[in-house]
Structure 1
């Protein structure tokens, strides 16, 4: 029978709203303070919707973190992709580290939660590993694999430090370090995949 309720969802955006709500709850309560009830309330959906779309909390969190990693990976790639020179690519890396758009406070909270949860969840560990590989792949559009690896460590690490520092990052210092890493390329061995 065509057009049955099972074939035509009455709320096609529900799954995405649940994933967005899960990230909001994790950002506010942490992974271990996240519950099905909090997510359902935040998404404005019946509690049973979560078990309809996801095989438990681990699956829901893994898919929510996959959504976060994908969103951030796409932003990362767009940020460096269009650089027309090494200098422009370096500037894009500095903007990823110092700018307000990548790894804002909410994103940093979610990244910390994802990294911590990855220690206990093989699925989230794989998501995190894939995210790191995507970041390095984006940087490899302009830099050698070894330089991409080093720059990615700066892009990941410096915003983490920024989160806890009392003073803003010194953009000139960051630019100088990025330039020094890029300039050290002939001396850096290519890293294994």
Structure 2
């Protein structure tokens, strides 16, 4: 296996373990076992677990940012109604919902609150979410989308956290989004 493949396998294992057991479940032996690599490969590629967690969050953030920026381009220069924007935003929220495979990044965002080196990585990911919010609000014709986008993102993340914490998917995301969008529209 090539070094890049080994590193990717290790990071995939880290994200899977964090998603299923939390950060406290991460151990080099468990990572090696899940990744199908030697224990020496884990310590060769990542001198510490902090390095692994940073690399895993960085990789997630880069992939998420690229994916979100592609979505931004889809909404740029569109003339959306509030209902269309709410439906599009709900679809995106469902796509980025914190299901088991998305719990790992969420836990690592919380870890970023404790690890100063993760702040910038998390900020870049949230900036991509904000850019998508700006694109949707701009397409809606909101007068100052930059001032509203982070609140829209926070509401969606909060609804997703509620869904994750309770296991109940009863939040009508589209209606909540529509209220914010109508308040932001001219």
* TM-score, normalized by the shorter chain, greater than 0.5: yes
CA positional deviation for 1:43: 0.7
Q: Distance in 2 between matches of 1:127 and 1:110?
A: 15
Does 1:41 find its partner at 2:41? Answer: no
Name whichever of 105-114 and 47-56 sits farther off. 105-114
Count of equivalent residues:
175
- The higher radius of gyration belongs to 1
TM-score (norm 2): 0.81
Does 1:77 find its partner at 2:69? Answer: yes
Report if the CA contact (8 A) 2:19-2:100 is conserved: yes
TM-score (norm 1): 0.78
CA positional deviation for 1:46: 1.0
Residue 18 (structure 2) aligns with: 26
1:40-86 CA-to-partner distances (Å, cap 9, x unmatched) read: 11111111112222231111110101122233333333445313333
Unmatched segments (≥5 aa) in structure 1: 1-8, 188-193
Q: CA RMSD in A?
A: 2.3
CA positional deviation for 1:186: 6.5
Q: Distance in 2 between matches of 1:121 and 1:181?
A: 32
Alpha carbons of structure 1 residues 58 and 85: separation in structure 2 relative to 1, 3 Å: same
Structure 1 runs (4+) deviating above 6 angstroms are none
Residue 178 (structure 2) aligns with: 179
Alpha carbons of structure 1 residues 178 and 151: separation in structure 2 relative to 1, 3 Å: same
Residue 161 (structure 1) aligns with: 162
CA positional deviation for 1:108: 4.3
Name whichever of 40-49 and 76-85 sits farther off. 76-85
1:78-123 CA-to-partner distances (Å, cap 9, x unmatched) read: 44531333334332211123x2x32241144213421331132112
Higher relative contact order (CA 8 A, sep 6+): 2
Unmatched segments (≥5 aa) in structure 2: 138-144
